[in-house]
Amino acid sequence: MVSKVKKSEYKVIGTRPIRHDGYDKVTGRAQYGADIKLPGMIYGAVLRSPHAHAKIKNIDTSKAENMNGVFAVMTAKDLPRLTDKQRGNSEESGSEKHLSENVMALDKVLYKGHVVAAVSANDVNTAREAIKKIIVDYEVLKPVINVDQAMDKDAPILHEDFIGDHLGKKVKNTNIATYNRYKIGNVDDAFKKCDLVVEKEVELQTVHQGYIEPHSGTAIWDEDDRVKVWTSTQGSFTNRDSVSKVLSLDVSRVKVTPMEIGGGFGGKIPVYLEPIAAVLSKKSRRPVQLVMSRTDVFDASGPAPGGKVIVKIGVDKNGKMLAGYADIRLEAGGYPEAFIEAAAKCVFSCYNIPSMDIEAYDVLVNKPSSAPYRAPGSPQVAFATETVVDEICKKLDMDLIDFRLLNVAEKGTRTALGPKYRKIGLKEVLEAAKKSDHWNSKLEKKSGNGKVRGRGIASGYWFNIGEKSAVNLSLNMDGTVILTEGSTDIGGSRASIAMQAAEVLGINAESVRPSVVDTDSIGHTDVTGGSRTTYATGYAAYKAAHMLIDEITSKAAKIWDISEDDIKYKDGIISSRTDSELNMTLREFADQNPFGPVVSSASVDLEEAAGGFGTHIVDLEIDPETGKTDVIRYTVLQDVGKAIHPSYVEGQLQGGATQGIGWALNEEYFMSDDGKMLNSSYLDYRMPIALDLPMIETVLIEVPSEDHPFGVRGVGETPICPPVPAISNAVNDAIGTRILSTPIKASKILNTLKSM
Amino acid sequence: MIKVFLPYKTRKLFDLPVEIDAEGNNLRNLIEFLDIKYPGLKQELVDDEKLKPTISAVIDGRTTRLGLIQKLDKVSEIHFLPSIAGG
């Protein structure tokens, strides 16, 4: 059901009200994961492997168990043994066995920081002392820490019992968890017809989402065998599903209360500490809380995959793309899932290429198991594709935007995976980029202080998922509306969802009071991720608001003893179509209504929102003396479908670009040869701060989605896709050579300049 | 007839062309039709009478959320694809 509302009729959508949770957050009253304190609560600590790859021969917990103040000690033997059964098909994939073993290693550790045991005690310090008394006998093995090492024929194997899927063939003793291929058209023939073929290989280091709030888990396993969990999560229902699987409990025995969340970007979809807190609680008969340190977060929570990507594109003499080939090798970490299917879907997504061949490898390495990070897989492949596009334009002496417009993907373009695009807005984005002030401003190549400047441009794509959401509405006696939802609010989604209900109800955004509730209090709602929340939960709010109007209409008809067909509801006023004396405000109705509470409940299960495209333009300045790069101007242009709350949309675009700039210039898991991250603190893992960046300019292009009543598309992930290639292309523009491995840090630039 | 596109690896395993013509008034019946034509194909797509969690069916550009009960009136093409995890 999609009914169109004319743009001119919007009263709430497109405005910028103050977010409903703003006061709690700026005053510090908001309760985050570790803020929950329960009566009788004790504290846990985990023992983590110091080795990246080792067999666990024996664990002696006896000294820890006998320590004063210790309540319980657990190892993986306290968890049920799970099978290779595959889990769902959205954010949480992979086998149940691997889910459990990532929470706590059974017989092998696969990355430094992998949990091997846990303790609960009176206080954190006692728990930390106790884990030092646990003796683990390891047989240390050689680690593999990148795709080249892992795919070597003589590589140490991470999972001796794992069977890889290589184009449907079952393969033992391999670190390639999955090898897949996608083919459209006759690629070999198409490349033969090309007048120019350009191929580039790029390399990306592992990076972390860098959310401010570390992971935590608080749980009580009560006497009725029900587990209650309080945690910082992007999806309380996904969290419940994972916890129940690890503990082999029915989902009805687990209740997850999502706390406020201090950032996630995909990294707070997996579970780490919650099942451990639950088992320790069962053994201790007390509520137990565990919190990660920053080093724990870097060492042992899921980063974005590093890896290597080769892209080859062939064009005719006019610049028309005829063929594309990609080889994608991404690091899954210790357990499968490097998002290679998403990467394959995104690699040629911006272009209309008749023949495409994509090979993709999900590669196991001795690093923490990868987690989603804003458009997982897409930034990695955009780096390769947009570098090739830049190079083709230079070789053909074509304008960078005109070339993209010549080959732009549009409605009806067949994608690399096969299906055709529905209505999308990349053409409109590129046309806006061509007209933008940034693109039309002249960049002086030399700054006058010895620094050199360059400009780069790149496009990117994310497909924006749909999936399940539920919303409940309840009319208060003062005419305001309580909205309850299951989507945890990371980027202002309370406001964007409340605004959609308010638009339908014809009341202001502040008159809808949104609350994020626990898993016992709302219908199943999938994660806040995949750029789905404003789209899917917003759609549920839209439906629920219409149902609430039906309720109001029905009850108002009874109050006036007239037919429901005679009732008109508009802008929060209830009136009779035939009797001008019969009218009342929503507040008057709510106060007078004698027919019981006015409530509604709606749910949706949606498909993808037809994808979002963005194009970024960057100007940067490089100091040849030091190699330091400063971004001096940055513009994000993106098709946002319909911006419900433009400030939060702009914030998403600026945030995504900022993270992408960090990925391009500074961030990396700096690993020792034995698989240990050497920069696991914010002092050494250098993310951009406000002082590093100019104000990021945003241009919102609204090409409404055909699948949402207000045209919402999802906006949060696309903006992290173009920054790496945009900056790499700008560096090439500045110094005349390409650096095709991230991060493009000062030392690499300096070494490159010295070698020229 | 409906044009069906199977994953590359399934095509290789069963030595199938890129496009296959098939029929069925819902996804379950269409897969049964394919299984008669290409014995064993069903087990590549279906597990425990559900679409496998690792498989998505994209029907005229839209990923079905209904699985095997999805009706196929006036459908022109169906792509079976590996499910995509994301974030």
Question: What's A229-292 look like in SS3?
Answer: EEECCCCHHHHHHHHHHHHCCCHHHEEEEECECCCCCCCCCCCCCHHHHHHHHHHHCCCEEEEC
Number of H helices, E strands in chain B: 3, 7
Q: Residue A84: pLDDT band by 50, 70, 90 thresholds?
A: confident
Q: A422 to chain B: which residues are within 8 Å by CB?
A: 61-62
Q: Where are the domains of chain B?
A: 2-82
Dist CA A31 CA A488 (whole Å): 13
Q: In this structure, are residues A375 and A719 in contact, taking their beta carbons and an 8 Å threshold? A: no
CB contact under 8 A, A167 and B5: no
Using a CB–CB cutoff of 8 Å, tell me whether A463 touches chain B.
yes
To the nearest whole Å, the CA of B38 is away from the closest chain A CA by 16
To the nearest whole Å, the CA of A144 is away from the closest chain B CA by 24
Of A444, A452, A386, A366, give the one whose Cα is nearest residue A626.
Answer: A452
How many domains does chain A fold into? 1
Nearest chain A residue (CA) to B77: A419
pLDDT for the residue numbered A92? 61
User: Between B12, B77, B87, which is nearest A374 by CB?
Assistant: B87
| Residue-wise pLDDT tens digits, A465-505 | 899 999 999 999 999 999 999 999 998 999 999 999 999 99
CB contact under 8 A, A375 and B87: yes
Q: B81 to chain A: which residues are within 8 Å by CB?
A: 341, 417-419
Nearest chain B residue (CA) to A184: B18
Which residues span the domain enclosing A565?
7-30+465-606
Q: Output helix, strand, coil percentages for chain A, rounded to the nearest 5.
A: 30, 25, 45
| Percentage of chain A exceeding pLDDT 90 | 95
User: Between B12, B62, B79, which is nearest A607 by CB?
Assistant: B62
- Residue A313: is its pLDDT beyond 90? yes
pLDDT for the residue numbered A5? 43
Average pLDDT, chain A: 96
pLDDT for the residue numbered A94? 81
CB contact under 8 A, A89 and B54: yes
How far is CA A553 from each of CA A237, A576, A595, rounded to the nearest angstrom? 34, 10, 12
Does residue A290 sit within a domain?
no
- Residue A93: is its pLDDT beyond 90? no
Dist CA B30 CA B69 (whole Å): 11
- Residue A6: is its pLDDT beyond 90? no
| Residue-wise pLDDT tens digits, A201-241 | 999 999 999 999 999 999 999 999 999 999 999 999 999 99
A138: enclosing H helix or E strand = strand A135-140
pLDDT for the residue numbered A373? 96
- Residue A1: is its pLDDT beyond 70? no
Cα dihedral A577, A581, A587, A589, rounded to 10, equals -70
- Residues A324-346: what's their mean pLDDT? 96
- pTM listed for this prediction: 0.96
pLDDT for the residue numbered A447? 83
- Residue A391: is its pLDDT beyond 70? yes
- Residues A66-84: what's their mean pLDDT? 96
CB contact under 8 A, A463 and B84: yes
Helix A274-284 with A96-103: angle, nearest 10 deg: 70
Does residue A544 sit within a domain?
yes
Does residue A187 sit within a domain?
no
Does residue A508 sit within a domain?
yes
- Residue B8: is its pLDDT beyond 70? yes
Does residue A551 sit within a domain?
yes
CB contact under 8 A, B53 and A373: no
Does residue A301 sit within a domain?
no
Does residue A22 sit within a domain?
yes
Check if CATH label 3.40.47.10 holds for domain B2-82: no
Dist CA A276 CA A687 (whole Å): 30
pLDDT for the residue numbered A586? 97
| Residue-wise pLDDT tens digits, B63-87 | 898 999 999 998 889 999 988 766 6
Of A728, A725, A710, give the one whose Cα is nearest residue A649.
Answer: A710
pLDDT for the residue numbered B82? 85
| Percentage of chain A exceeding pLDDT 70 | 98
Q: The domain that contains A516 carries what CATH number?
A: 3.30.365.10
Dist CA A731 CA A453 (whole Å): 8
Instruction: Give the β-pairing of A196-204 and A307-315.
Output: antiparallel
Q: Residue A3: pLDDT band by 50, 70, 90 thresholds?
A: very low
- Residues A554-560: what's their mean pLDDT? 97
Does residue A585 sit within a domain?
yes
Chains A & B: contacts with CB separation below 8 Å: 106
| Residue-wise pLDDT tens digits, A18-70 | 999 999 999 999 999 999 999 999 999 999 999 999 999 999 999 999 999 99
Dist CA A385 CA A328 (whole Å): 11
pLDDT for the residue numbered A59? 98
pLDDT for the residue numbered A4? 43
Interface test with B, best of A181, A380, A417 (most B CBs within 10 A): A417
Contacts of A94 (CB under 8 A, 6+ apart): A86, A87, A335, A336, A337
Helices marked H in chain B — which ranges?
8-14, 27-37, 42-45
> In whole angstroms, what separates CA A183 from the centre of its chain?
27
- Residues A521-550: what's their mean pLDDT? 96
Interface test with B, best of A89, A165, A169 (most B CBs within 10 A): A89
